[in-house]
Structure 1
Amino acid sequence: MISLLNAFKAAPARPGPANPDMDRFKRLRWQTFLSMSLSYALFYVCRLSFNVVKPALVAHNLLSPAQLGIIGSALFFAYAIGKLVNGFLADHANVRRFMMLGLLLSALVNACMGLTTNTVILTLIWGLNGWAQSMGVGPCVVSLSRWYSDKERGTFYGFWSIAHSLGEALTYVAVAAVVVTWGWQYGYGLATLMGLAGLALIFFFMADSPQSCGFPPVHHEAQTPTPGDSPAPSIFSKQLALLKNPALWLLAMASCLMYIGRYAVISWGVFFLENAKAYNTLSASTLISITGVFGIIGTGLSGLISDRFFNGKRNALAMLFGLMNTLSLSAFLFVPAGHYWLDATAMLFFGLSMGALLCFLGGLMATDIAAKGAAGAALGMIGIASYAGAAAGEILTGVLIEHGTTVLSDGSKAYDFQTLSIFWVCASLVSVLMTALFALHLQQRRPPTLPKRKETLVPVQP
């Protein structure tokens, strides 16, 4: 057992030359970044496959909307707790091995999901998938903090966050096409294969840290210790200090409510479009995939723009994108059926704004206020709040759909989405309010002047 735990500890530092080969360093850094980002996109395929098969399960009377809500919520609850625990562990871990184990478990769960329609069994194994999924995000953020300096954090965090939207787009195009062509069980099969492909990417191309490859650490601040300095705080003490920061809790609430609106679309959007606006599964999935495609643009540009043009100040941008998200969600829900291009436009702006919010509220703004060495803990705190909100929203959504269901004389079902739509939009709007309170809190606590920090963008010898 001890040897197993030791296998997941951060890789030890290897001795390197006095003058490191910076070309090799940059090559390793890009390999790590790209393999980590692409594999995390495939984490998402293994997470969202269930959403694409929902309409088929209901159409074949295999499961009810309320049962689907319970099964879906199991992933969110397990993911929320796991993201907190595994986020704290990731600060100390070999992130390469940590991610590999999580993606392997997630792929195996997808392989099992097509074997039964028993609600209890599906809830248990989909909950296991939630825990496996939580082993992806923390290691990614810790890896970013190990390989990149503060000045680059927003830019590369934004580029990495593209993986969220890329995974969504892959799911709602590739998995949906397989489900329509061969059946819902084969959708899980494709997700399994894509998860195993991600596992191979991590194994062959990702490195744990610069130190494990013979390079000195990337220093965030150039400091010269002097006699009498107090010992540097431990990672654990930094994590505890983070829990006492009210700004983190406000940000967590904003992200919690934002995730209700997010999963309203990516978890129930296909179901909503089929039953409220008479789209078929493929056309509905194609519309939802627009959010993933344009989410890539919103996510990729948000960190870069905030770093380059706003000097890392992201609060105003987060509120602006939050309002855009609320308006586009409202248009998606309340525009009558028969207006394809309006629905597509709503999904375009929803994707752009959600991509930016996933970058800002979903982690980057938390790492901005976290001490160095506590990036995983910051993501864990945001994660447990975000997915607790997503889980609660999943259950409430299933119940509200069930409550608004009418069985017609021919045996078909009609759904009333009015109350549900109001719930989704209100959650999105209150998220913007929490973001404003977060910004106000930081403004009140900001000192009159801040000392300038010296930063280096490449490893330097201690």
Structure 2
Amino acid sequence: MATGLTVSFIANLCVGLLGLFSGGGTLATTTLFVVFAVLWGINGWSQSMGAAPAIIALSRWYPLKKRGTYYGFFSASHNLGEAISFVFVGLVVGLAGWKWGFVGSAIAGAMGVAVILLFLHDTPESKGLPPVEVLSGEAGDETEVERESVGTAQKAAFRNPYIWILALASACMYVSRYAINGWGVIFLQEVKGFPLATATQVISVNAFLGIAGTVFSGWMSDKWFNGSRYSIAVTFGVLCSVSLGLFLYSGSGMFVNILAMVLFGIAIGVLICFVGGLMAVDLVPRRASGAALGIIGIASYVGAGIQDIISGALLDKHKTVVDGITTHDYSVASVFWIAASVLSFLLVGVVWRKAAKNNRQPN
């Protein structure tokens, strides 16, 4: 985790410094674009090194009966980071320009590396404690599958069709998530006439509410649903699609747009926790939790990347330029975003039904 975050903050720092010290000219601009694109890719790749180690640490430190609760707290980091970045980076950029926004992000990343190295420990055994199975009384309940080697358990995870269906569901969910995070501000400006500052504030609401949805979802499933995630995931998947439609097709009133972002943020928060990892981790033994989350993570960010490519192409194809001002028709892109959201909860429903039919309903 520390290595990934180190690479990330160095990439951010390089982008900011290159922006500050770059010269003019077409060649310089072209060169900078290529360098920025490479650094942007390195940054995204290195950030993916955080999720799998985190869930492995959670599996090693907390018992199964409380996994949902603590995983929910952990998953809130997605939304918490987004919310802070909207406020912190937006403030820095507003005061000093976009270059310092990257420099500020690099400083925050360096602080995160220090936190990881000082406070995160691999296993209870590394601190002189018994394994969590012994501490929680689960050691006697360990099945033969759970005693398999790491390699065998990981291979089984890769062969599990439920994991791959959930991965596709998460990819579709990330399409709708990053549609709002990536295009929401521009959409509010171009379609609904919001000024930049107001549009940013409206979109930031979904990140803040996502924290609540993520934190309470895991606890709720452990406390009231005996560890079952699927009914909750399908319910909030439907809410995600409805709120997305409300945002895209409602008027320009402040109340209705904030309401849409409140509902969308809560729904996405729950889905990030469940579809974005927890349900897949529930399907495999502890030794394969990293492999399961890795499959989900790869699929999720492939979905996010495909979303950017397809959305950009659709918006570029349906644009008009009047007096040097470019505006876009979001109708086709909106259908793409909502369709992905609907497909996500339908895929979760497929896994739920298949697991129940085989008398193997996962937790």
TM-score between both structures, scaled by the size of structure 2: 0.91
What is the aligned partner in structure 1 of residue 347 from structure 2?
434
Is 1:286 aligned to 2:286, yes or no? no
Give a deviation string over 1:428-452, Cα, whole Å, max 9, x none: 011111011010111012259x9xx
Residues 107-146 of structure 1 show CA distances to partners (whole Å, capped at 9, x for unaligned) of: 1111122324533222211111122101111111000001
Q: How many residues align?
A: 346
Quick one: structure 1 residues 187 and 281, their matched pair in 2 at CA, closer, same or farther if it must change by over 3 Å? farther
Could you say which residue in structure 2 is the equivalent of 1:394? 308
The alpha-carbon deviation at position 336 of structure 1 amounts to: 2.5
Residue in structure 2 matched with residue 200 of structure 1 by the alignment: 114
Show CA shifts across 1:82-128 (max 9, x none): xxxxxxxxxxxxxxxxx111111101111122324533222211111
Match 1:359 to one of 273, 276, 281 = 273
* Structure 1 segment 27-106 matched on structure 2, within 5 A: 99-106=1-8
1:323 matched residue in structure 2: 238
Moved over 3 A (4+): 229-232
Mapping of residues 296-375 of structure 1, within 5 Å? 296-337=211-252, 339-375=253-289
8 Å Cα contact 1:176/1:282 also seen in 2: no
CA distance in structure 2 between the partners assigned to 1:334 and 1:217 by the alignment: 52
Instruction: Indicate conservation of the 8 Å contact 1:102/1:136, yes or no.
Output: yes
What residue in structure 2 maps to residue 443 of structure 1? 356
- Segment drifting more, 199-208 vs 152-161: 199-208
Counterparts of 1:132 and 1:185, CA distance in 2: 21
CA RMSD for the aligned pairs?
1.9
**Is 2:125 the counterpart of 1:223?**
no
Q: Report whether the alignment pairs 1:256 with 2:171.
A: yes
* Matching residue's letter, 2:303: G
Query: 1: distance between equivalents of 2:145 and 2:298?
Result: 33
Change (3 A) 1:365 1:447: closer
Question: For the residues of structure 1 that align with 2:104 and 2:234, how far apart are their CA atoms?
Answer: 38
User: What amino acid is aligned across from residue 258 of structure 2 in structure 1?
Assistant: A
Q: Distance in 1 between matches of 2:204 and 2:321?
A: 30
2:67 maps to what in 1? 153
Aligned to 2:152: 237
User: Equivalent residue for 2:328?
Assistant: 415
1:247 to 149, 153, 162: 162
Give how far 1:371 is off.
1.6
Aligned to 1:377: 291
SS at match of 2:50: helix
Contiguous gaps of at least 5 residues in structure 1: 1-98, 451-462
Q: After superposition, what is the alpha-carbon deviation per residue over 1:15-44, rounded to whole angstroms, capped at 9, x for unaligned?
A: xxxxxxxxxxxxxxxxxxxxxxxxxxxxxx
Normalising to structure 1: TM-score of the pair? 0.72
Assess if the C-alpha contact under 8 Å between 2:319 and 2:329 holds in 1: yes
Structure 2 alignment gaps of length 5 or more: 20-28
Cα distance in structure 2, aligned partners of 1:307 and 1:362: 17
Instruction: Classify 1:447/1:274 alpha carbon distance in 2 versus 1 (closer, same or farther; 3 Å).
Output: closer
Shift of 1:231: 11
Q: How much does 1:278 deviate?
A: 2.2
Contact 2:173 2:344 in 1 (8 A): yes
**Structure 1 residue 274: Cα displacement:** 2.0
Query: Could you tell me how far apart the structure 1 residues matched to 2:360 and 2:77 are?
Result: 36
User: Sequence identity of aligned pairs in percent?
Assistant: 42
Tell me the distance in 2 between the aligned counterparts of 1:404 and 1:141: 42
Residue 173 of structure 1: which of 87, 90, 102 is its match?
Answer: 87
Work out the CA distance in 2 between the residues paired with 1:403 and 1:179.
30
Which structure has more helix as a fraction of its residues?
A: 2
SS, match of residue 392 in structure 1: helix
